[in-house]
Chain A
């Protein structure tokens, strides 16, 4: 299930440095140049990881998301910042389940974008069965 706007009243996400030096935070914000793998020892106490996209062209957050999901993270993974409707299908494939775009997106466009691809050539972090597997049963 994809939610597009984050809920009010949640615990604010702290920076990676702050998170690593304090043991009680359950929400962290990851900047593009920060190593997602630093969070791997702490995944079971995290409820929210917010991955920052200061510019839509900066694609490091896609790798961060996949790394976190591949490491077994099951909590909320949010793409925040310069998040455009034409990117959210790929973001979802990389493991994001919520989106907090700086500029509101048109819900009709969101629905169309997420329904766009009938199948996928490669496996990623969304659990979709890749085409090569469909071909060979």
Chain B
């Protein structure tokens, strides 16, 4: 994985010094909260319901064990012994003191980590496929491309006061594990005439007005990628709406202009930007790519797994995925124990995962947008030992992609923007469907919960989505069906009137019963919904 050189170290150190100075001036009263807010946000520091919250960047979701241990250390030393992994492959801490923030950033910098641009109206952490470098279906590792974008977007002088936040994802497989087309820019690395290039999808997003990004350019050569991104951003910075925060994302600009007109403007800007020579040479890409060289995996390692322990076998079937190298596997660690808080992990659990990553996964771990953790390069012969250690730490829930593998935003329990709580609903659903046999019978079912219209819990992209709203001071939950954040991307449709907390759990049970009664052999929930439409489900829910 990518290692900092002297330049990267110096840049992060400068940022730590800058933010320490800004915190000092804020505490001394030299700047107002209004002036400080955008500065702290660009360093990932929010003011939330109970305290400050710090969001630490995990670029494209990749970590080594030393970094993972540092995340545990920060939870232990500065927070309340746990962290929350987010849908942008980051981690956030809920109980941070402003006066501790500079020391935390210094600790992070010591392991080549930071909180740069994890919030604010700037280019946010670049996200990617959590199986990058290991997935059997990828054409290349997308992370060198993501790292090139990370460096270009860090402290970008022109794009740090955009109309609104800006999120970029990069993938290189046909299976989309990163919700690529629900990003401001989604990049898919594709192959043409033996060369890799970037397909640019621009103007997707969730939030109040969900949109699927249209294809703006089918193939941008590596040598032009940053110029093309710069052109996309410049058109947005100049013409994106600034009169209404809810209409300020690039998706609204592209929707109002039309994809063709936006493309025309970008192409014109690109012609100009390309002449400025802002693209690094291939040697720089090669320097980065070399650091993502595949680990030395032995393809002759034994390919069979001893499944004699039935609990282990259940976990292997559900949570272990195919690796591109024979004799190896991708381990998905679920952070969704029944009744737990989706995405939360204690310091002790984070340390356990760090140790397993070091010992069994070539020192690599990944954070997924579904708020789980991945050990990307595990020998099949080691799976049993890994499972035993996970099980002992309460980390072996075999529910990947099942109904209890719920994405949930922090909701009104933590977030000052939320209108309703998300976590208690997730806990009730997971408890109602706690029987694993029942979950497996339902098969792949992606359930996603947001506690407000900002859609951090990706509810629009849930096979089943739940949106919490405030109805005259009372929490109310709207149900939607048929969304997907994967390669079959689609936006969910609202079923009808909302429910209270218990009501929405009952409604989901009626939906899943209807699915079981309606599906054809091997048909996933979302495919049944697409085949039969909303009407039968609506009838099942509302009678």
A: residues with CB less than 8 A from B are 32, 56-60, 62-63, 66, 70, 84, 86-87, 89-91, 93-94, 106, 109, 112, 116-124, 130-136
Q: Are A63 and B234 in contact (CB under 8 A)?
A: yes
Q: Are B278 and A122 in contact (CB under 8 A)?
A: yes
Question: Which chain B positions have C-beta within 8 A of A90?
Answer: 155, 157-158, 160
Q: Does B454 contact A (CB under 8 A)?
A: no
Least CB distance from A88 to B in Å reads 11
The docked-state distance in angstroms from the alpha carbon of A123 to that of B274 is 12
Question: Which chain A positions have C-beta within 8 A of B39?
Answer: 86
Question: Which chain B positions have C-beta within 8 A of A93?
Answer: 157
State whether A57 and B7 are in contact (beta carbons under 8 Å apart), knowing that A123-B277, A123-B278 are contacts in the complex: no
The docked-state distance in angstroms from the alpha carbon of A109 to that of B35 is 15
B: residues with CB less than 8 A from A are 5, 7, 10-11, 14, 17-18, 21-22, 25, 30-31, 35, 38-39, 121, 151-152, 154-163, 226, 234, 237-238, 242, 272, 276-278, 280-281, 283-284, 287
Q: Are A116 and B14 in contact (CB under 8 A)?
A: yes
Q: Are A120 and B155 in contact (CB under 8 A)?
A: yes
Q: Are A118 and B14 in contact (CB under 8 A)?
A: yes
State whether A117 and B283 are in contact (beta carbons under 8 Å apart), knowing that A58-B161, A135-B7 are contacts in the complex: no
State whether A132 and B10 are in contact (beta carbons under 8 Å apart), knowing that A62-B161, A86-B22 are contacts in the complex: no
Least CB distance from B356 to A in Å reads 34
Least CB distance from B465 to A in Å reads 32
Q: Quick one: which of B14, B158, B162, B287 has the most chain A CB within 10 A?
A: B158
6 contacts between A and B (CB under 8 A): A86-B35, A118-B14, A119-B10, A123-B278, A135-B5, A136-B280
State whether A121 and B11 are in contact (beta carbons under 8 Å apart), knowing that A57-B161, A70-B276, A94-B158 are contacts in the complex: yes
Q: Are B272 and A132 in contact (CB under 8 A)?
A: no
Q: Are A121 and B155 in contact (CB under 8 A)?
A: yes
Question: Which chain B positions have C-beta within 8 A of A89?
Answer: 157
Least CB distance from B519 to A in Å reads 50
Question: Which chain A positions have C-beta within 8 A of B226?
Answer: 122
Question: Which chain B positions have C-beta within 8 A of A66?
Answer: 158
The docked-state distance in angstroms from the alpha carbon of A131 to that of B156 is 13
The docked-state distance in angstroms from the alpha carbon of A94 to that of B161 is 13
The docked-state distance in angstroms from the alpha carbon of A60 to that of B10 is 29
Q: Are B242 and A58 in contact (CB under 8 A)?
A: yes
Contact check: which of B14, B152, B163 meets A122 at CB < 8 Å?
A: B152
Contact check: which of A94, A118, A123 meets B10 at CB < 8 Å?
A: A118
Q: Are A62 and B7 in contact (CB under 8 A)?
A: no
Least CB distance from B59 to A in Å reads 13
The docked-state distance in angstroms from the alpha carbon of A83 to that of B39 is 14
State whether A59 and B237 are in contact (beta carbons under 8 Å apart), knowing that A132-B280, A136-B281 are contacts in the complex: yes
Q: Are A59 and B162 in contact (CB under 8 A)?
A: yes
Least CB distance from B191 to A in Å reads 25
Contact check: which of A58, A94, A121, A124 meets B154 at CB < 8 Å?
A: A121
Contact check: which of A56, A106, A119, A122 meets B7 at CB < 8 Å?
A: A119
Question: Which chain B positions have C-beta within 8 A of A135?
Answer: 5, 7, 284, 287
Question: Which chain B positions have C-beta within 8 A of A130?
Answer: 278, 280
Q: Which residue of A lies closest to B230 (CB)?
A: A122
